[in-house]
Structure 1
Amino acid sequence: MWLPTLEREQRSVTLAESDWLVCGGCGILLYGKRFVRLGMVCPDCGRHTRLTSSRRLELLLDAGSAIPIERVAAAEDPLSFADLLPYTERLAGARQRTGLDDAVQVVRGTVRGRPVVVAAMDFRFMGGSLGSAAGQAITTAAEMALADRVPLLLITASGGARMQEGALALMQMAKTANAMAALDEAGLLTITLVTDPTFGGVAASFATLADVIIAEPGARMGFAGPRVIEQTIRQRLPTGFQTAEFLLDHGLVDDVRGRAELPQVLGMLLGATEVPGEQWGELTADPVVRQPDGIPARPVAEIIGKARELTRPTMLDHTATWFDGFTELHGDRAGADCPAIVGGLAVLDGLPVMAIGHQKGHTTDELVRRDFGMPSPAGYRKVARLLRLAGKLGLPVITLVDTPGAHPGLDAERHGQSIAIAECLRVLGGLPVPVVSVITGEGGSGGALALAVADRVLICENAIYSVISPEGCAAILWREAGAVPDAAAALRLEARSLLELGIVDAVVPEQAPIRDAVICALRELRQVDGPSLVSARRTRFRRFGVRHDQ
């Protein structure tokens, strides 16, 4: 008996031809109705079969919430183009096969009760190519999101610009990019869901301009398609090249999520702009100590040892224990994702925030994988990207600092470590939202300061913060390893001394909840407008090193 195979190019009609299907990935037998219930994802190999735009909207949006948006009609066949067939005949055939006017559907709807405007591309319609009608649809979606003051969700599936419309198709890239820029200026969240495939003019315009880019497993995205690349460079491409997993490893997308997870993930992202009232956090007691004599004096060597203990909670430990939810965002969007920096959108006692921190580890394997919490330039570029997103959306920023310092080495220098750190300092200094930093373990040099230019700087009782490690200071100035205790004492790097110097605002006692200390700091800072926050923050750092009698 013949059974249809679900190849990448399969059309939705295939499912109507048989109750049983063969997965185009692993070859197992699939029961058609169950396969549809699973969102057309193979339960054995996880292969995501292409969806129509209508089915995509049905799976993502709350039932019954989708309302189509009308758009201004685009010019048809502006070049009177003909290849093997006249363009008009190709359009008519695509409309008959798909039931769509063109390659993009635009609707208003909700995801987990949160409003959104969605532009969903359909690869069945002339390969999802970007022509005048598709560009008009994307631009209309952005304009409707702007008018409604709601987030925009783009679902991409395209082979590139539509050749039959010549340079007019090329202009759609600039047109849609401008529409995305208007949403940036208005502070509205934009999300792209990359599905297979997303190439050419779509990838090089609106698809990659979104604040958050999520890709389905196996989805491919790039400027040039694999055949074009291979023909140009006359080499075989590596396995997995341009897939979602490749893009994630190279910092080009924020995450890869399976189809079943997407409504939850999108709901979390869309909730990033839901702001609680002024009474937020008023029931939380502040656990911090603000006077140096409230901190017991202890040997510096003991404090340094505790600051470096592998059992100290990491950034991921904190996100798991005192945030209501956390969606990690990956990558610097320039070719890398640094494992020593973890950041993303979080919810703190009902308040959406941007949480960013250094990530070490508890085991040797994890320490090695996370580069011992020492960020590369890509890590600091990721930090700067997330900070800008927080500024755009008006989200308070929480940074958790625990690093021996920025990663030293040839690659770090080659890729601009100094420049990346400097950019973080500049972005934080001018960020018009509340910023709270907590030194939770080691605060090593500029690698730590890059996350600590804040309105409130807190430090855990057993944490340290210094221009250099005591070992480095002893080696350079004392020129002997035995001078480490003397260097540590001279640097005054422990919490009590830092509070006396005014470097930190308060100390979180070792057994006290850091979460509560952060809530109380943000509770105060949320009452201050953006320009005043920036002015006060710059004034705070301006006074360091100035004689107090002047």
Structure 2
Amino acid sequence: MSSPHTHRAADSAAARVSARQAIAAVTSDFTELPEPVGAGRPDGPLAWSGYDDARAAAYERTGETESVVCGTAVVEGVRAVLVSFEFRYLGGSLGERTGDRLEAAYAAARAHRLPLVSLVATGGSRMQEGMRALSQLQRVAAQSALNRAAGLPQIAVVRDPTTGGGWATLGAGADVVLALPGAQVGFAGSRVRPPDADPSAYTAEGQLAAGAVDAVVPADRLRTRLGRWLRLLGSPARGPVAPPRALGDARPPGTGWEAVLRARSPERPRAAAYLDAYFSWREQISGDRCGGTDAGLLCGFGLREGRSVAYAAQCGTATRPAGYRTAARLIRLADRLSVPVLTLIDTPGAANDAEAERAGAGAAIADVFAAVAAARTPVTSLVIGEGGSGGALALAAPGRTWAAPDSYFSVIAPEAAAAILKRPRADAPGLAEELRLRPRDLVDLGVVRGIVGH
């Protein structure tokens, strides 16, 4: 029987391959871009003794003249610009010539309206070029900003290792971040981090748990998953999408309290069932890029009738600040790529414990309200269960929200209303009626456009 150590070693070996092996893992159709003009000075901008010899040795070892290989490729039928790092060339470090190649790759993506995929494996900036090397990070960031402004997607695949400025620009700065299992991923490389640092924090799996990586993908599935992401980010549906059909009980509730009980029923279909019925297939993004995740809010892109739709779906739990920040990130990305958005509303309300307050619950909810309000792409919403107060309303599209028959939407839960009004909890059923929270009440009040059928 193999040990966990054996598995980690195998994962790491899969993550640490050459630049051209990494390219071959995702495409068999690759054309390298022309070499940018500019030969550079002997021993680099610092006249670092032996630098030319080190580059010559790196060429002999790898067959590459720089730490990055750039070109156009077809990945699972989708054309893209591909950037792949060669770690054996001076640790995959970024110098001025690297910056020249990266700038040319971003420019080619803009010229041909193509997504850019980075297969990253780097130790950071090249020491032998000093601050001239470090300044390449600004150059990469500027190019990335131009591609974002042009509405072009950027996907990173982080290999072993991905550290320093390469992680802080091409890696963590991408729209979607995939990681190979066992890869070392973090801003601090193994030689400069604190000696007592927890090593698990600097892994692909650790970054996934911290909300900085969207998925850890086995090497043998990378081509398929990358191809799916390229298709999802590049083939948006046109115009607003229709809300999903109802999956639960179609009978209209007779009273407000009945609506509340049916929305809270454990047998009622939840977000995952609605998403599976709505999409042919889907891919999920994960994390708020601020250190948090929320399993109670599913975000991602799905394929419906051959076109892409983004989704943010609450799962019936109290939504945490990380969930709202992830949803805001999703909506802004979809807006930039002109992909319509579907939101599914199902929460008793926003999490309001002390941890949620310390994590910035109010600011996170405000961020979603702002993202929905500012979105130029159409947003469609469906209340599929509980619609509890502002924590639910944040995900609702003004003028384009529908309700399922077994749902309710309320300014506050009836029990909380009783507490605020200093009335006994036994008054909650009566208050549910006064709050007019049933689907048909919401239609009459102009809060939702209609009730979806089966």
TM range (shorter): over 0.9
Amino acid at match of 2:274: H
In terms of mean alpha carbon deviation, does 266-275 or 489-498 score higher?
A: 266-275
Q: Is the 8 A contact 1:25 1:47 kept in 2?
A: no
Provide the rounded CA distance (Å) in 2 between the counterparts of 1:223 and 1:129.
Answer: 14
Cα deviation, residue 123, structure 1: 0.4
The one of 438, 443, 452 aligned to 1:499: 443
Q: Work out whether 1:140 is the aligned partner of 2:104.
A: yes
Shift of 1:205: 2.0
Q: String of CA shifts for 1:415-452, please: whole Å, max 9, x gaps.
A: 21111111111110110011100000000011101110
Shift of 1:218: 1.3
Q: For residue 319 of structure 1, what is the amino acid of its counterpart?
A: L
Cα distance in 2, alignment partners of residues 481 and 27 from structure 1: 57
Q: Distance in 2 between matches of 1:455 and 1:358?
A: 20
* Equivalent residue number for residue 220 of structure 2: 260
Secondary structure at 1:226's aligned position in 2?
A: coil
Change (3 A) 1:59 1:286: closer
Q: Aligned-pair distance for 1:475?
A: 1.9
Partner of 1:120: 84
**Structure 1 residue 241 corresponds to structure 2 residue 201:** yes
Offset at residue 239 of structure 1 (A): 4.2
Q: Which amino acid aligns with 2:215?
A: D
User: Quick one: structure 1 residues 454 and 397, their matched pair in 2 at CA, closer, same or farther if it must change by over 3 Å?
Assistant: farther
TM-score (norm 2): 0.93
Are 2:243 and 2:342, in contact at CA under 8 Å, matched by a contact in 1? Answer: no
**Which residue matches 1:108?**
72
Q: What are the ranges of 5 or more consecutive residues in structure 1 without an aligned counterpart?
A: 1-22, 29-39, 289-293, 361-372, 513-550
Q: Deviations over 1:135-193 (max 9, x none)?
A: 11111111101101010001110111001111110110000110000000000000000
1:94 paired residue among 42, 52, 58:
58
Match of 2:420 among 476, 484, 487: 476
The partner residue of 1:250 within 173, 197, 210 is: 210
Partner of 1:457: 401
Residues 457-487 of structure 1 deviation map (CA, whole Å, 9 limit, x = unaligned): 0000110000110111112215201101111
Q: CA deviation at 1:412?
A: 1.0
| Corresponding residue SS for 2:451 | strand
Equivalent residues in 2 for 1:27-46 (5 A)?
A: 42=10
* Map of 2:355 onto structure 1: 411
Corresponding residue for residue 72 of structure 1: 36
What amino acid does structure 2 have at the position aligned with 1:215?
A
Aligned to 2:280: 324
Does 1:222 pair with 2:186? Answer: yes
2:122 maps to 1:158: yes
* Identical counterparts, % of pairs: 34
Q: 2:21 maps to what in 1?
A: 55
Measure the CA separation in 2 of the matches of 1:208 and 1:49.
17
8 Å CA contact retained: 1:400, 1:438: yes
CA gap of 1:410–1:296, structure 2 versus 1, over 3 A, is: closer
**Superposed displacement of residue 214, structure 1:** 0.7
- Residues 1:433 and 1:49: Cα distance change in structure 2 (over 3 Å): closer
The answer to whether the 8 A contact 1:198-1:221 is kept is: yes
Cα offsets for 1:344-375 (capped at 9, x unmatched): 01111222011111124xxxxxxxxxxxx111
Instruction: Please give the root-mean-square deviation of Cα atoms over the aligned residues, in Å.
Output: 2.4
Instruction: Work out whether residues 117 and 141 of structure 1, in 8 Å CA contact, stay in contact via their aligned partners in 2.
Output: yes
2:159 maps to amino acid: T
3-state SS of the aligned residue for 1:507?
A: coil
Matches within 5 A, 1:262-411: 262-272=222-232, 273-275=234-236, 296=252, 298-360=254-316, 373-411=317-355
Partner of 1:440: 384
Aligned partner letter, 2:235:
E
Q: In the superposition, relative to structure 1, how do residues 286 and 464 fare at CA in structure 2: closer, same or farther (>3 Å)?
A: closer
**Structure 1 CA distance, aligned partners of 2:337 and 2:36?**
30
Q: 1:456 to 1:492 in 2, by over 3 A?
A: same
For the 8 Å contact 1:119–1:137, the answer to whether it is kept is no
What is the alpha-carbon distance in structure 2 between the residues aligned to residue 347 and residue 287 of structure 1? 17
* Counterpart amino acid of residue 93 in structure 2: S
**How do residues 412-431 of structure 1 correspond to structure 2 at under 5 angstroms?**
412-431=356-375
- Kept in 2: contact 1:80–1:87 (CA 8 A): no
Q: Distance in 2 between matches of 1:285 and 1:168?
A: 52
Q: 1:169 to 1:286 in 2, by over 3 A?
A: closer
Choose from 159, 165, 175 the match for 1:211: 175
3-state DSSP of counterpart to 1:105:
strand
| Cα distance, 1:269 vs structure 2 | 1.1
Any idea what SS the aligned residue of 1:107 has?
strand
Mapped to 2, the partners of 1:277 and 1:461 lie a distance apart of 28
Q: Quote the offset at 1:302 in angstroms.
A: 2.0
Q: Write the deviation string for residues 508-542 of structure 1: whole angstroms up to 9, x where unpaired.
A: 13xx0xxxxxxxxxxxxxxxxxxxxxxxxxxxxxx
Asked if the contact 1:435–1:455 (Cα under 8 Å) also holds between the matched residues in 2, the reply is no
The offset of 1:392, in angstroms, is 0.5
| Stretches of structure 2 lacking an aligned partner (at least 5 in a row) | none
Matched, 1:131 2:131: no
Q: Which amino acid aligns with 2:434?
A: A
Instruction: Note if contact 1:221-1:244 (Cα within 8 Å) is conserved in structure 2.
Output: yes
**What is the CA-CA distance between 1:311 and the residue it aligns to?**
1.8
SS at structure 2 position matched to 1:496: helix
Q: Distance in 2 between matches of 1:446 and 1:296?
A: 24
How far does the alpha carbon of each residue in 1:211-269 deviate from its partner, in whole angstroms, 9 at most, with x for none? 11111111122222233222xxxx52224221011001110111111111111111111
Shift of residue 404, structure 1, vs aligned partner: 0.2
Check whether the contact 1:220–1:242 (CA below 8 A) recurs between aligned residues: yes
SS in 1 for 2:181: coil
In structure 2, C-alpha distance between the alignment counterparts of 1:349 and 1:102, rounded to whole Å? 43
**TM-score (normalizing by structure 1):** 0.77
483-492 vs 134-143, which moves further: 134-143
Does the CA contact (< 8 Å) of 1:434 and 1:455 recur in 2? no
Match of 1:177 among 127, 138, 141: 141
Name the count of aligned residue pairs. 447
